[in-house]
Amino acid sequence: MTYSERAKQIFAEEIQEFVKLSETIDSHFDRVVDLIYNCRGKLVLMGIGKTGIIGHKIASSLASTGTSAIFVNAAEAVHGDLGMINKDDIVMLVSNSGATNEILNVIAPLRNIGCTLIAMTGDAKSKLAENCDEVLSVHVDKEACPLGLAPTTSTTAALLMGDALMVCLMEKRQFKAENFAVYHPGGALGRKLLGRVRNCMTTAVPKVQLHTPFRELVHEMSDKHLGITMVYDGDRCTGIITDGDLRRAIQKFNDLHVTAGDIMTPSYKKISQDALLTDALAIMDKYNITTLAVTEKEDTDAIIGILSIHHIIDFS
């Protein structure tokens, strides 16, 4: 067997274990999500060794997606780091065996503090599980390690459970891309969304007049590649035509001897060139649109540009 064949075999073995694990997820998971969502304090992930590394990753992922979370090493906890935890916090203790001494040793002090305890463990009948308020089982039948000793499948199972928690909490909080940018100002997405509208809008505004024939307005929309055109009455913008308006016009009118004024939508959404891209995304999300007219100032009507969702995606 080649190494590549063996690697595929390992993937298949681990995936099989994860499928079995997913089938055991039940109402305990629902209760854990609700507990964390309603927590008045923060979520504290605690582990040691390789499960500690997994706990650190889960805490980081949660913290970056709207859930207040930190990681505390279990061994350091009993030497002063318990001072970072208070009674309003929830502590999630991560241990595959559920019998790790360093993890078990923090249970009594945490109970004295008064916080809620959740066990993430591969043994739902372990001492750890018995002494926690809720249990998330990450049990796997076997490790990918041929000796069954090195944490492999078990640590990945814990990581997957953490990802499931993160995604469910993101959805429960209705966490959006603009929220993500606030927690990731140094990342590529953060740099995009914390930029200004003027940084990525186009000044090539598609324009037609009220009396512009259907065929000409279609050409204008096609030439500018924005899926919209603004409609003017002289120098004053009076509406917008979108791809959707075109489709509805084709369904409604038989001969299409219509003008821009016949099919335009009088109202349109706009935003100042000085606004943050996060604000632009929030408007697009609220009204389920992909394009905004851009004005020079917030309290002015003169359109100086167009901002499309594709401009934001391509912005760097």
pLDDT at 184 exceeding the cut of 60: no
d(CA 59, CA 67): 9
Q: Give the model confidence (pLDDT) of 155-164 as tens digits.
A: 999 999 999 9
Cβ distance 278 to 284 under 8 Å?
A: no
pLDDT at 261 exceeding the cut of 70: yes
Q: Give the model confidence (pLDDT) of 126-153 as tens digits.
A: 999 999 999 999 999 999 998 887 899 9
pLDDT computed for residue 110 by the predictor: 96
Structure-model confidence comparison of residues 198 and 314, the more confident one: 198
pLDDT computed for residue 279 by the predictor: 86
Q: Where are the CATH 3.10.580.10 domain residues in the chain?
A: 197-314
Cβ distance 192 to 181 under 8 Å?
A: yes
Q: For residue 213, how far is the Cα from the chain centroid?
A: 44
pLDDT computed for residue 125 by the predictor: 95
Q: Which parts of 146-275 fold into alpha helices (H)?
A: 153-172, 177-183, 188-193, 214-224, 243-252, 260-263
d(CA 16, CA 123): 19
Q: Where are the CATH 3.40.50.10490 domain residues in the chain?
A: 3-175
d(CA 66, CA 175): 7
pLDDT at 177 exceeding the cut of 70: no
Closest of 199, 204, 200 to residue 304, by C-alpha: 204
CATH number of 3-175, picked from 1.10.1200.10, 3.40.50.10490, 3.40.50.300, 3.40.1080.10: 3.40.50.10490
pLDDT at 117 exceeding the cut of 60: yes
pTM greater than 0.75 (yes/no): no
The class of domain 197-314 in CATH terms is: alpha beta
